[in-house]
Every structure is written in C-alpha cells, then in structure tokens.
Amino acid sequence: MTAALVALVASAALAGAGCGGGDGGGSGDRLSAAEFRQAADAICAEYDQKIQDLGEPESLEDLTEFIGRAIPIIEEGFNKLDELQPPEELEADWDRAIEVNGENLELTKDLQAAAESGNEERVQEILAQAGQNEEETDRLARELGLQRCGEEGEA
C-alpha cells in the first residue's frame, strides 16, 4: 500500500505539474509549443523531486503527516503551471488535464481524511480512482508532447 500512496501523491504533483491551468496569469503571451513543453517538464522535474524528498510513509498513521506536507507542494506546482500559456493547439488537452488534476488534488485531500480516520477501505477506493485519473493525465501529458510529465510509474 505504501508505494501506491506515494504514487498517488506524486501523481497529483506530477499531473498538476504536467498539465496546469489553461488560462492562468502572466502577461497573456502564449508560449510556443517548444517553450511550453520545456517549461512544463522543468516544473514537473522540480515538484517530483520535492515530493520524493518527503520520503515514504511507513504506515497509515504516517500518511496523514506525509499528505499534509505534500499538499502545499502540489498546490505550489499547480500555481506555477497555471501561469504557463500553452499554444492554442494544445489548449483543449491542457484544460482537460487540469480538470482531472483538480480531481486528484481533491482525492489527495480525501485520502488524508480517510487516513486520519483509519478507514483503510476508503483509502483503497481513493487510490483506485486516483489511479484511473493518473492514467488519463499521463496520456494527456504525452499527447501534449511532455516528456517528464507524462512518464508512467513516476513516484
């Protein structure tokens, strides 16, 4: 179960990093496809490392603290990526990916609550849903041409 938990949190970070918001801040200038891919992959690498640096929870009890430390990292990654402006031809996939990533962030928060209450059955349900979302965001990241962000099994 530990590897799956870390994978969920990492996928929330990476998926968010791989597929940030479509109409975020910045000057309104769209990036070229190459600039977008380079920037998104750099952010994925940075936030993947931050999640890995947290280590792995050893038990359900450790999970609450682990997720508590991971959520601000995930949210920071989302915010950085929300500032990216993908080229128009990539915007639809980018927007769908951010929608799914928002779901995974909420699932991560639900996972924390399930762990706090010791509800292992709910933890497993959340992990299953998050796994399905991760598959979709990995596919979208690859379709967007992202290297680091679309890697499968990244944790």
> In this predicted model, what pLDDT tens digit does every residue of 35-51 receive, in sequence order?
999 999 999 889 889 98
The DSSP code for 154 is -
pLDDT digits (tens, 9 = 90+) for 16-38: 444 434 444 444 689 999 999 99
| pTM of the complete model beyond 0.85 | no
Cβ contact 79:105 at 8 Å = no
Least confident of 38-47, 92-101, 121-130: 92-101
